[in-house]
C-alpha cells in the first residue's frame, strides 16, 4: 500500500479507501462485511469511508464493530452527514447546526470512536446558510469530534466559498468526494482545477463505474444474477446510464491493455483514477473479501503515458465530461 497527503494537510491516507456504501447492512451479511474489513486491514488499507445514511445508520454500526480492537491512531475513519436518517423528520436531514451537531454524536456512537478523522458534507444544502453550516463544522472540530472537514459532490463555486469560510473560521476543508472514473470525468473541467488551487484533494467513489469497468457486463447479455445491475433496491438505478452496448463493447477492448500490465480490468480502472495527482484515494467496496485483496493490487501502479493514451482513445468517446452534471445530480431541496 502507498499513501498520499489529503489536501493541503499533514494527514496521509491510503491510496485505496474501503467504503461500505450499498454493502454493509444491506447487500451483504454482517459476517461477510466484517471479513471484508479484515481483508482491507490485512492488505494495508488504513482509510475507511462510510456515512450515516448508508443502510439508515446500520453501515456505521457494522464498520464500528469490524474495527473494534484496532489501534485507533493507525486508522483514518471518514463519515458523512446530509441525507435523511432516523424517522426522517423535518430536521433529520441537511446541514443545519442542529442536524450536524446531532449527527456527529450519533456517528461517533455507532462507529465506537471518540472522533472521526474526516467529517464530510454529503451534499450541498441549498436551504441552510453556508455560514451556519461551516460554523457548525468548526464547532465539531473544536470539540475534538472531527479532525478535518470535507465535502462530497460540491461544485467548484461551492468549494471555493466553503473553503474561504473554513479559513476564516480557522479549520481545514481538505477534501471533496466526487464520482470519478474513466467513464465519469465531470470534475476535470472545473472542480479539479479549483481544488488544486485551494489545496483540496479528491477521494473518489465508483472508480470502476459501479462495476461496469470490471468487464463483467457483456453487450447483449443479461447481467449476472446478484450483480449491482440487477439490484432493485437502488444499485440498478445507479448503474443504468453505463449499461449501453457501445460502452460495454469499449470496456471489453481494454482487456488486452490490462493483460499486458498483468492487471485485471478493475485494477486497471482503479490505477487509472490514481494516475491523477489530485486524487488522494480511490474508494472500493466489496461483497467478498477476495475482491478487496484483488483491488488493492492497483495501489502503486504507474500507468505510462502511452497506456493512458490507449485507454483514452477507447473510452473517451463514451465518457461524460459536462461539469454541469455535478449540480444536475445534486438535490435542489433538502431531502425528507
The tens digit of pLDDT for each residue in 148-201 reads 999 999 999 999 999 999 999 999 999 999 999 999 999 999 999 999 999 999
Higher local confidence (pLDDT), 135 or 226: 135
Please say if the pLDDT value at position 209 is more than 90: yes
- Count CB atoms within 10 A of the CB of residue 323: 17
Q: Strands 116-121 and 76-81: what pairing? A: parallel
Secondary-structure percent of the chain, ordered helix, strand, coil, rounded to 5? 45, 15, 40
Q: Tens of pLDDT along 5-62?
A: 999 999 999 999 999 876 554 555 678 888 999 999 999 999 999 999 988 898 999 9
Q: Tens of pLDDT along 238-261?
A: 677 888 999 999 999 999 999 999
Domains of the chain: 3-211+266-301+318-328 (3.20.20.100)
What pLDDT is recorded for position 235? Answer: 58
Q: Which of 5, 18, 54, 148 is catalytic?
A: 54
In DSSP notation, 33-52 reads HHHHHHHHHHTT--EEE--T
Reported pTM: 0.92
Instruction: Specify whether 54 is catalytic.
Output: yes
- C-alpha cell recorded at residue 256: 488486452
Q: What is the C-alpha separation between 36 and 291, in angstroms, rounded? A: 8
Planar angle of CA 140, 282, 97, nearest 5 degrees = 20
Average of per-residue pLDDT across 284-297:
92
Q: What is the C-alpha separation between 81 and 122, in angstroms, rounded? A: 5
Please say if the pLDDT value at position 321 is more than 90: yes
DSSP 60: H
Amino acid at each position: 500500500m502507498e499513501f498520499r497527503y489529503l489536501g493541503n494537510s499533514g494527514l496521509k491516507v491510503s491510496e485505496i479507501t474501503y467504503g461500505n456504501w450499498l454493502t454493509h447492512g444491506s447487500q451483504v451479511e454482517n459476517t461477510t462485511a466484517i471479513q471484508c474489513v479484515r481483508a482491507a486491514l490485512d492488505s494495508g488499507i488504513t482509510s475507511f469511508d462510510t456515512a450515516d445514511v448508508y443502510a439508515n445508520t446500520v453501515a456505521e454500526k457494522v464498520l464500528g464493530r469490524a474495527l473494534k480492537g484496532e489501534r485507533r491512531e493507525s486508522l483514518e475513519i471518514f463519515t458523512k452527514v446530509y441525507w435523511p436518517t432516523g424517522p426522517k423528520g423535518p430536521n433529520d436531514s441537511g446541514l443545519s447546526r442542529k442536524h450536524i451537531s446531532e449527527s456527529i454524536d450519533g456517528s461517533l456512537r455507532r462507529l465506537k470512536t471518540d472522533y472521526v478523522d474526516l467529517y464530510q458534507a454529503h451534499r450541498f444544502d441549498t436551504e441552510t446558510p453556508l455560514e451556519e453550516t461551516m460554523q457548525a463544522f468548526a464547532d465539531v472540530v473544536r470539540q475534538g469530534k472531527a479532525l478535518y472537514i470535507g465535502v462530497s459532490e460540491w461544485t467548484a463555486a461551492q468549494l471555493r466559498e466553503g473553503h474561504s469560510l473554513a479559513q476564516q473560521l480557522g479549520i481545514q476543508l481538505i477534501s471533496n468526494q466526487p464520482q470519478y472514473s474513466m467513464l465519469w470525468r465531470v470534475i476535470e473541467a472545473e472542480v479539479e482545477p479549483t481544488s488544486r488551487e485551494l489545496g483540496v484533494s479528491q477521494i473518489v467513489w465508483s472508480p470502476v463505474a459501479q462495476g461496469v469497468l470490471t468487464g463483467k457486463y457483456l453487450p447483449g447479455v443479461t447481467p449476472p444474477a446478484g450483480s449491482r445491475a440487477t439490484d432493485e433496491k437502488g444499485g440498478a438505478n445507479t448503474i443504468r446510464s453505463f449499461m449501453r452496448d457501445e460502452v460495454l463493447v469499449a470496456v471489453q477492448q481494454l482487456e488486452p491493455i490490462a493483460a499486458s500490465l498483468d492487471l485485471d480490468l478493475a485494477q486497471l480502472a482503479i490505477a487509472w483514477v490514481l494516475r491523477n495527482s489530485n486524487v488522494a484515494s480511490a474508494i472500493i467496496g466489496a461483497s467478498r473479501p477476495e475482491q478487496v485483496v484483488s483491488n488493492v493490487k492497483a495501489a502503486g501502479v504507474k500507468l505510462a503515458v502511452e497506456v493512458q493514451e490507449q485507454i483514452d482513445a477507447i473510452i473517451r468517446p463514451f465518457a461524460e465530461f459536462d461539469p454541469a452534471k455535478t449540480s444536475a445530480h445534486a438535490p435542489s431541496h433538502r431531502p425528507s
